[in-house]
Structure 1
């Protein structure tokens, strides 16, 4: 059986940029999936260590795509254009490295409402969190079935 890791990245100090962290923390509490969970935040070196120890990676992060806030999207890591994700500490290095390594996995992106200096999620995204988590779980389960 493949070792599957769900990695939450983002920055809690930048409002909705931390959504990946909050979602993975909730998934860790439930432990309904037989996978490894990890919180990488913006520590690229730690994230790269996690990636080396897994066979299949599911990254959860805020992704500004122009959709309505709270929208959940999924893209194969091999198809990511790191430059299109915007510039942040975890995007500019981590996603370039994932692309270079050809790491098997997916990025589950959550459309933020607001990214700015502030601890915690925006009220808008926080209110939508239960529905977002439900959508993310559905994506994860379908992904796991397909590998």
Structure 2
């Protein structure tokens, strides 16, 4: 079983909605830096429940996605699975709902990985392939936080 799956989700044709996929593309450019790490980077696109089987091969899943939390665009969040479930003010994206359902399906099949989401508050979700200025400006900081989370998850011997 591999240690970590980093899953970027979103629709790159809908501006900020594609943020997670843009982030995964950046990590693919750094693949040599992670060559010996026990991690895979996957573009989950608009993430449907049919890829739940991927979770069975990993101890941890780190999802890169937008998060709507009524904060200024570009605000970066790290959320654990229990926070996604209990925060009633948190507006889950369709990806998050699919994700939680997929974790449940993986559990029914015998293995439920540890879940963490690194999200960012979007500015605009509309037709277009470019990130909005606030998200483009936050992109380097977002990648830095994701790198820190990857290192933490790869080094974790238990599910703190």
Normalising by structure 2, we get a TM-score of 0.76
Partner of 1:66: 70
Instruction: Please state how far the C-alpha of 1:52 moved relative to its aligned partner.
Output: 2.3
1:69-106 deviations in whole A, cap 9, x for unaligned? 22221122244228744342x23322233256353121
SS of corresponding position for 2:96? helix
Is the 2:67–2:93 Cα contact (8 Å) retained in structure 1? no
Normalising by structure 1, we get a TM-score of 0.82
Is the 1:15–1:118 Cα contact (8 Å) retained in structure 2? yes
> Structure 2: 5+ residue runs without aligned partners?
none
Superposition RMSD on alpha carbons, in Å? 2.4
Distance change in 2, residues 1:92/1:76 (3 Å): closer
Determine which structure has more spread, i.e. the larger CA radius of gyration.
Answer: 2
Instruction: Please state how far the C-alpha of 1:116 moved relative to its aligned partner.
Output: 2.0
Structure-1 separation of matches of 2:152 and 2:142: 16
Within a 5 Å distance, the mapping from 1:24-103 to structure 2 comes to: 24-31=24-31, 32-33=33-34, 34=37, 35-45=39-49, 47-81=51-85, 84-88=90-94, 90-98=95-103, 101=107, 102-103=112-113
Partner of 1:136: 146
1:25-70 deviations in whole A, cap 9, x for unaligned? 1112112232111011113145313212222111111111122322
SS of corresponding position for 1:55? strand
Q: How many residues align structurally?
A: 146
